[in-house]
């Protein structure tokens, strides 16, 4: 029996990640994030809890738009931040994403199509992930 795994993540303008960054591919037995201080461990975990629907206050923020990378160099402000999580289960693959804009409006995507958050929850619940109780992710 196959199990659902996260194969990689794409972070775009998310926190300290300017532009699009790919994290992965992750090993099928991936179970921990380790590294020295300042290596991005917290940002990676926050990217996961962001895409899985956490609110700003749950992430110690006043508003979600604070997640959008801003750089004083170049003088440009990114219009959004987005995190995409790529899943595999045997031969099946799908991706879920969340985007936040400067007004702190969130949009969720399943395989590139706009979807409601409740549909994200239902899809993951069918795969054995309960977003309501966070047992799938230990912080």
Helix (H) or strand (E) holding 49: helix 41-51
**Average pLDDT over the chain, rounded to whole?**
86
pTM of the shown model: 0.88
The tens digit of pLDDT for each residue in 45-64 reads: 889 889 998 888 878 889 99
Instruction: Please give the pLDDT value at position 86.
Output: 96
What confidence tier does 117 reach under pLDDT thresholds 50, 70, 90?
Answer: very high
Residues 6+ apart with CB under 8 A from 62: 56
**Exposure pattern of 46-61 as b/e (b: 16+ CB <10 Å)?**
bbbbbbbbbebeeeeb
Give the separation between CA 43 and CA 41, rounded to whole angstroms.
Answer: 6
């Amino acid at each position: 029996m196959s199990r659902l795994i996260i194969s990689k993540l794409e972070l775009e303008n998310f926190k300290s990640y300017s532009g699009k960054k790919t994290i992965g591919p992750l090993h099928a037995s991936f179970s921990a994030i380790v590294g020295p201080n300042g290596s991005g461990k917290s940002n990676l975990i926050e990217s996961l809890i962001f895409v899985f629907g956490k609110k700003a206050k749950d992430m110690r923020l006043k508003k979600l738009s604070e997640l959008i990378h801003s750089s004083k160099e170049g003088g440009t402000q990114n219009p959004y931040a987005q995190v995409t999580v790529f899943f595999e289960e045997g031969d099946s693959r799908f991706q879920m994403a969340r985007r936040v804009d400067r007004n702190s409006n969130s949009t969720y995507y399943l395989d590139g199509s706009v979807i409601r958050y409740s549909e994200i929850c239902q899809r993951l619940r069918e795969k054995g992930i309960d977003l309501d109780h966070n047992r799938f992710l230990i912080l």
